């Protein structure tokens, strides 16, 4: 049988037209701050509706290949579609992309690359790699799913790395779509819920990326200055309540190139003040230790609520 000559690396994003500006800022920060990873990759963006005009602007900033994405079932029962889009499930297509690429890394668009991230490829020793967050698997669901350990520490899929040493990868995308459809009424975090139970179902040993590769600017017990990647998972983003001079600079580049401006954002002064306070506290060792304990206690309570909810 002839050997398939695979390409080395695909870096995958998913975005709709409304969030083209966020995709652009993520791509520009990748290009500037992780040039080695960027240079060796094909950039793939799954979408349904990014306009031709915004596609042209994006390609003027970073070479991008756009792929149309459609969900193979009616997703009406998915709880989180009120906040997120079906494009979350484009991450499942990364398994299929291993037919063409040796390595595939998927990134959310609500993040900023701060340092060179090429080491993600070396850190993925088992075929699948992600960083833990402070939640447990139960936090992804609003109801019990029998056969899985909901108390296991959660992997955050905002930074999701694969390579073709992963056993059985050709069947995984189909399994993920089937499980998403079946469990739709119980799912909170769409793709993250399914990928975490896939680890258990297929008995995968995930390579755990250091937390520095997936740092929430406000809620992580990791200093923002130590982060390789800042990831604003949740409702508070760089463009509303977690201000960033770097993000704003990339956004201005997007606008200058002719990209569509973002829609007006709801801003919460309390969140912005807490974020600025955290940035200050990170430089005061004893006070930073207190904040880390507070963060751990917050997630301990949330995890207890998640278990009771299930």
Per-residue model confidence as pLDDT tens digits over 188-242: 999 999 999 999 999 999 999 999 999 999 999 999 999 999 999 999 999 999 9
Give the Cα separation of 64 and 67 in Å (integer): 10
DSSP code of residue 187: B
pTM for the model: 0.95
Contacts with 39 (C-beta within 8 Å, 6 or more apart), sequence order: none
Give the Cα separation of 83 and 19 in Å (integer): 13
Burial of 231 (0-12, 13-18, 19+ CB in 10 A): buried
CATH number at residue 179: 3.90.550.10
Picking from 42, 30, 43, the residue whose alpha carbon sits closest to that of residue 117 is 30
Residue 55: the pLDDT is: 98
Residue 118: the pLDDT is: 98
Picking from 267, 295, 300, 299, the residue whose alpha carbon sits closest to that of residue 281 is 295
Residue appearing with tokens 């850190």: 123
How, if at all, do strands 111-113 and 229-231 pair?
antiparallel
The number of angstroms, rounded, from the C-alpha of 177 to the middle of its chain's C-alpha atoms is 18
DSSP string, 217-258: TTT-SS-GGG-SEEE--SS--TTTTS--HHHHHHHHHHHHTT
| Residue 141 bridge partners (DSSP) | 187
The number of angstroms, rounded, from the C-alpha of 132 to the middle of its chain's C-alpha atoms is 12
Give the Cα separation of 263 and 266 in Å (integer): 10
Residue 182: the pLDDT is: 93
Number of domains in the chain: 1
Residue 2 lies in a domain: no
Residue 1: the pLDDT is: 35
Residue 268 lies in a domain: yes
Picking from 59, 33, 29, the residue whose alpha carbon sits closest to that of residue 44 is 59
Token pair of 254, please? 């997007």
- Residue 294: other Cβ atoms inside 10 A: 9
Give the Cα separation of 84 and 16 in Å (integer): 11
Residue 24 lies in a domain: yes
> In b/e form, how buried is each residue of 22-39, taking b as 16+ CB within 10 angstroms?
bbbbbbbbbbebbeebbe
Residue 310: the pLDDT is: 63
Tell me which residue range forms the domain holding 282: 7-309
Contacts with 7 (C-beta within 8 Å, 6 or more apart), sequence order: 42, 100, 101, 102
Residue 33 lies in a domain: yes
Residue 1 lies in a domain: no
pLDDT < 50: residue spans in the chain: 1-3
Burial of 11 (0-12, 13-18, 19+ CB in 10 A): buried
Give the Cα separation of 84 and 73 in Å (integer): 17
Give the Cα separation of 90 and 16 in Å (integer): 12
The H or E element spanning position 273 is helix 269-281
Residue 194 lies in a domain: yes
* Three-state secondary-structure class, residue 17: helix
């Amino acid at each position: 049988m002839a050997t398939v000559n695979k390409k080395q690396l695909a870096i995958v994003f998913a975005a709709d037209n409304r969030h083209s500006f966020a995709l652009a800022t993520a791509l520009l920060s990748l290009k500037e701050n992780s040039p080695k990873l960027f240079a060796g990759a094909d950039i793939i963006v799954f979408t349904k509706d990014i306009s031709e005009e915004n596609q042209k602007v994006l390609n003027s900033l970073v070479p991008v290949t756009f792929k149309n994405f459609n969900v193979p079932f009616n997703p009406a029962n998915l709880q989180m579609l009120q906040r997120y889009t079906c494009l979350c499930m484009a991450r499942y297509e990364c398994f299929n992309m291993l037919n063409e690429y040796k390595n595939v890394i998927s990134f959310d668009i609500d993040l900023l690359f701060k340092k060179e991230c090429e080491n993600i490829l070396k850190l993925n020793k088992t075929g699948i790699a992600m960083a833990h967050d402070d939640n447990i698997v139960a936090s992804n669901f609003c109801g019990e799913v029998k056969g899985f350990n909901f108390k296991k520490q959660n992997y955050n899929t905002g930074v999701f790395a694969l390579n073709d040493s992963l056993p059985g990868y050709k069947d995984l995308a189909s399994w993920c779509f089937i499980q998403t459809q079946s469990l739709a009424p119980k799912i909170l975090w769409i793709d993250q819920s399914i990928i975490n139970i896939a680890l258990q179902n297929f008995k995968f040993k995930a390579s755990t990326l250091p937390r520095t590769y997936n740092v929430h600017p406000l809620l992580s017990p990791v200093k923002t200055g130590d982060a390789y990647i800042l990831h604003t998972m949740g409702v508070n983003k760089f463009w509303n309540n977690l201000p960033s001079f770097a993000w704003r600079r990339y956004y201005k580049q997007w606008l200058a190139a002719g990209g569509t401006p973002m829609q007006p954002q709801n801003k919460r002064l309390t969140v912005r003040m807490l974020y600025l306070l955290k940035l200050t506290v990170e430089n005061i060792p004893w006070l930073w230790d207190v904040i880390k304990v507070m963060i751990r206690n917050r997630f301990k309570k949330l995890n207890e609520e998640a278990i009771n909810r299930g």
